[in-house]
Structure 1
Amino acid sequence: MNKKLKRWTFLDTLNGILFVVVVLFFLDFQNNSTMSWILLAVFLFWLITVILRNVMISKIEKDPDHPLHKVQTNQHTEIKK
């Protein structure tokens, strides 16, 4: 059985916290610009994946013909014996 896709996960929470810590304490474009750009690129990639995941979930919920529609909207039909 397929699991329901989540819009925000525990891992996203950890990444969000790490992003705030990095922005506040580790970004230093004057002394270490390469590492600062790499960190920003990594977090930008994470943010894009979160946005795309939410877009995908919205499309699944709106399309009743999508294979994961019933899983996302909790419309499981069980066959009773």
Structure 2
Amino acid sequence: MNNRSLKRWTFLDTINAALLIVVLLFMLDFENNRAVSFILLAVFAFWITTVILRNIFISKIQKDPNHPMHPGQSKERKEK
């Protein structure tokens, strides 16, 4: 089983946030490239949704000590 800790914000999220800022500032052009602008917004909306859902999932794991991915579970398994 993988014992890596879950992270709320990763390096890839930082890159995506930087790209989102660049897209918002320089690439969105609904007058000339309407389809591309909507596609870019959809992609970043999907990314933001996954970040929010990942944080909700991590919060549920941390609140439930019986969850198999809870940080305390790995210590209990090693002791057995």
TM-score over 0.5 for the pair: yes
Unpaired segments ≥5 residues, structure 2: none
Flag the structure with more relative contact order, 1 or 2, with Cα contacts below 8 A and sequence separation at least 6: 1
**Structure 1 segments of 4 or more deviating over 6 A?**
none
Deviations 1:8-56 (A, max 9, x none): 0000000000000000000000000000000000000000000000000
Structure 1 counterpart of 2:22: 21
State how 1:1-81 maps to structure 2 within 5 Å.
1-70=2-71, 76-77=75-76, 78-79=78-79
Q: Give the 3-state SS of the residue equivalent to 1:76 in structure 2.
A: helix
Give % identity: 60
Q: TM-score, normalised by structure 2?
A: 0.88
Q: Which has the higher helix share?
A: 2
Give the root-mean-square deviation of aligned CA atoms: 1.9
Aligned equivalents of 1:74 and 1:6: distance in 2? 17
Q: TM-score, normalised by structure 1?
A: 0.87
How many equivalent pairs are there? 78
